[in-house]
Amino acid sequence: METAKIQELEHKLGVHFHNRDLLLEALTHRSYLNEEPSWHINHNERLEFLGDAVLELVVTEYLFKKYNDPEGILTSWRAALVNSSMLSEISKKIELNEYVLLSYGEKKDVGRARQYILANAFEALIGAVYLDNGYEETKKLVERLILPEFPRIIEQKLYKDAKSLFQEEAQEKMNATPTYKVLDQRGPDHSKTFKVGVYLDEDLVGIGFGPSKQEAQQKAAEDALTKKRWVKVS
């Protein structure tokens, strides 16, 4: 990767790397090594493992010091701040997709799989910043990029899972309880994709897809919340 591009990302992050190999490692997806075996950098999965723990610590410390709410509430808030959907959003804001090193095949896939790749790369970046700059600089990065999302999480109730939230809204607004039905399932047993619909009475109000019935139900609830304009789910 060109030095100018590395500097560009450093500027977006507000972080200067002393060891830029750590930054390159954070950006290297496993698939890239399959096509570029001579690449001198490891893939980012170990840094992702570290970054996940550091990110959780920073967010936990922030919530613990700022709020006196019970553990269960703090846990829900933390989960909403560090889940893959939120990290994927943050990654898009800093255009991380322009810097992650992927195989040709992975570059063509811009769907759900890419969101996970970006979220994982962001966690790897957190790990790289921690190793290169220490905890305090990592904390500042999280404070700049992630913690400003917290008011939106509270306002839009994103700390509640979509199924629970949709059920609350449906019962309050329509005195109805949602039901879920599998509309379709495709693929071999080890790699199925489920299509699930959520209904209010006989009306199909949302559709979701996922590798399990549970995840497809969550996506269907998100779709229904958005279509009903009850809550915006990111």
From the list 146, 169, 151, the residue with the least C-alpha distance to 224 is 169
Verify whether residue 52 is a known catalytic residue: yes
Verify whether residue 201 is a known catalytic residue: no
Would you say how long the chain is, in residues? 234
Catalytic residue among 25, 48, 52, 169: 52
CB 62 within 8 A of CB 168: no
Catalytic residue among 25, 48, 106, 123: 123
CB 193 within 8 A of CB 215: no
First to last CA, the chain: 32
From the list 150, 26, 25, the residue with the least C-alpha distance to 80 is 150
- Collapsing DSSP to helix, strand or coil, 28 comes out as strand
CB 233 within 8 A of CB 222: yes
Active site residues: 52, 123
